[in-house]
Amino acid sequence: MKKFFALLKVSVKSMLLSSTNARGRSKKKAVSGVGAVVLIAFLGLYLSGLYSSMLMGVLAPVHMEVLVFIFMGMAALVGGLMFTTFAVKGVVFGGKDNDLLLSMPVSSTMLMASRVSAIYLENLLFAFFVLVPAGAVCAFMTQSGVGHSLLFWVRLIVAVLALPLLDTALSVLLGALVAFLSAKVSRGALGQNIVMALYMVAVFWFVFHLNGMIEGLAANAAGVKQSLSWAAPLLWMGDGIMGDWGFLLAFAACCIVPFVLVVFGLGRVYRQAVTAFAARSARNDYRLSAQSASGQNKALLAKEAKRFFGTPMYMWNSGTGLIMLVAAGVAALVMKDDLREFIAMMGGDFPAALAVAVVMGFSLSMCAIAAPSISLEGKYLWILREAPVGEGTLIWIKAGFQLLLSVPCTIIAGVCLASALQISLWEGTVLLAAALLFNVAHAAFGMLVGLAFPKLDAVNETVIIKQSLATTLGIFVPMAAVGACALLYWLGGMLAPWAAPALPVALLVVLAVVCAAVLARRGPAMLQAL
């Protein structure tokens, strides 16, 4: 066990350090890492608390609080899978220290268990942020007294500890499949992208399905619960949290058994799996033909595109916001009658433009393409630094690549949403201008945090894209800016009708100008100093 904990310590330390640029014991750097975790925790708790309270408002009056835990459990499971499946390829099977650790006198099962435990901790964090707020909401909003006893919290904690075991087992299996495809399919990135696209389609289907169920919740909560029989373990979890110890034990067993089977099953073949997944032999059948030339900027942009589209982890984490944005626009057009009916129900004062702006702002915030791009250079940074290209060009190409992807998506989604919701031409133009300003500010800010908090020695791409401080700030600070814009819209509306859109647009102009100016003035020196 001593060896296991030593290995686990290495994995956990690596995970914790991955969110900072720390290389020593600098208190300032450690604080910045803790700050990132606190920020994620706060936002996780806030978002989960919000959705739980919305559901609880409908379900508590009909004494069906159990459904909140079932839905939140599903959210934790699906979200955890989405976050960790691709991390498994890097953390469990593709760690740079695999050669070192496999050469040491420890069993491969123990090594596998320590790696998987790191994934479990990440899932545990997510399950905690999703289920605990649901419990707190239940305790405050329940009309049947559920949530007021200590035993309720004990059962909830058991569920919080158990659910990530199931999540981890599933993500390790899926991650192994992704690693296998990467190694065996000649165009590994394409194979992984197809897997992830199918996965996203399933998630979108699940979300739409869920929305349909939520609509009929108040009228037929019991029926909805019955229709969820395909998710039996989560039903057991819900019933267990609500007081049935038998169901809770059944749920725990459902989580523990797959986890143990995965750890011991894959652990027995861990060495073989790592070897097989790493083995990629170069083909020897290339025939050189006449090559074509292009300019520096085009070559640098093409390189950014190759990295983005050729690294599924990067594309699906940093590009999800854009996919959601376009999907929201297209879905709004398809379901425009339902949406207009909904807006009519909300009354004439419903700020449709603001709602669209917030949806677009949050989706765009998730598109942190520039923020991790400097850290992703990592060991390759020497190539750009020895090239006859100015530092200014390099950073603007990186920021420009984000804009190249985000601006067309913004225009498509903006036009679709404005048209579906019958937003006036004037409001639509202001909305689009605001969204474009947000794009500029976001890309420039992303580059700045990427330069300020580089993680050039990361163990793998996963820790940079998913856990680095630059990515965290590159997502959550823009989200806070969206919140500030919404607040200014509300405050402006109290002053004068014209001030409602003018104040947030003014803020976005300032943010775009300041971020772009600071990047232009300080960026090259920051890159040179790395």
Partner 1 sequence: MLRIEHYSKTYPGGKKAVDDLTLHVRPGEIYGFIGHNGAGKTTTLRAVAGVMDFTEGTITIDGHDIKKDPVGAKRVTAFLPDNPDLYEFMKGIDYLNFIADLYGIPADQRTKDIAKFGDAFELTGNLGSPIGSYSHGMRQKLALISAFIRRPRLLILDEPFVGLDPAASHLMKGYLAELCQSGSAVFFSTHVLEVAEKLCHQIAIIKDGRLVKCGPTEQLVGDSSLENVFLELEGEK
Residues of the shown chain interacting with partner 1 in the complex, contacts defined by CB under 8 A: 189, 280-296, 298-300, 302-303, 306-307, 310-311, 379-380, 382-383, 385-390, 528-529
Residue by residue, what is the 3-state secondary structure of 390-404? Answer: CHHHHHHHHHHHHHH
Q: Are 145 and 92 in contact (CB under 8 A)?
A: no
Q: Are 364 and 325 in contact (CB under 8 A)?
A: yes
Cβ distance to partner 1 smaller for residue 230 or 382? 382
End-to-end CA distance of the chain: 40
How many residues does the structure list for the chain?
530
State the Cα–Cα distance between residues 402 and 318, nearest whole angstrom. Answer: 10
Distance of closest approach, residue 184 Cβ to partner 1, in angstroms: 12
For 455, the 3-state DSSP assignment is coil
Cβ distance to partner 1 smaller for residue 135 or 523? 523
Its sign, for the CA torsion 325, 329, 335, 340, is positive
Distance of closest approach, residue 297 Cβ to partner 1, in angstroms: 9
State the Cα–Cα distance between residues 257 and 193, nearest whole angstrom. Answer: 30
For 317, the 3-state DSSP assignment is helix
Cβ distance to partner 1 smaller for residue 2 or 25? 25
Cβ distance to partner 1 smaller for residue 2 or 283? 283
Cβ distance to partner 1 smaller for residue 229 or 281? 281
Cβ distance to partner 1 smaller for residue 229 or 291? 291
State the Cα–Cα distance between residues 169 and 246, nearest whole angstrom. Answer: 23
Distance of closest approach, residue 376 Cβ to partner 1, in angstroms: 10
Residue by residue, what is the 3-state secondary structure of 252-285? Answer: HHHHHHHHHHHHHHHHHCHHHHHHHHHCCCCCCC
Q: Is 211 exposed, middle or buried (0-12, 13-18, 19+ CB in 10 A)?
A: exposed
Distance of closest approach, residue 255 Cβ to partner 1, in angstroms: 36
Cβ distance to partner 1 smaller for residue 285 or 337? 285
Cβ distance to partner 1 smaller for residue 288 or 494? 288
Distance of closest approach, residue 306 Cβ to partner 1, in angstroms: 6
Distance of closest approach, residue 281 Cβ to partner 1, in angstroms: 6
Distance of closest approach, residue 188 Cβ to partner 1, in angstroms: 8
Cβ neighbours, 10 Å, residue 55: 23
Q: Tell me the CA distances in angstroms from 510 to 157, 411, 423, one per residue in order.
A: 46, 21, 25
Distance of closest approach, residue 447 Cβ to partner 1, in angstroms: 20
Return the residue matching tokens 């603007």: 396
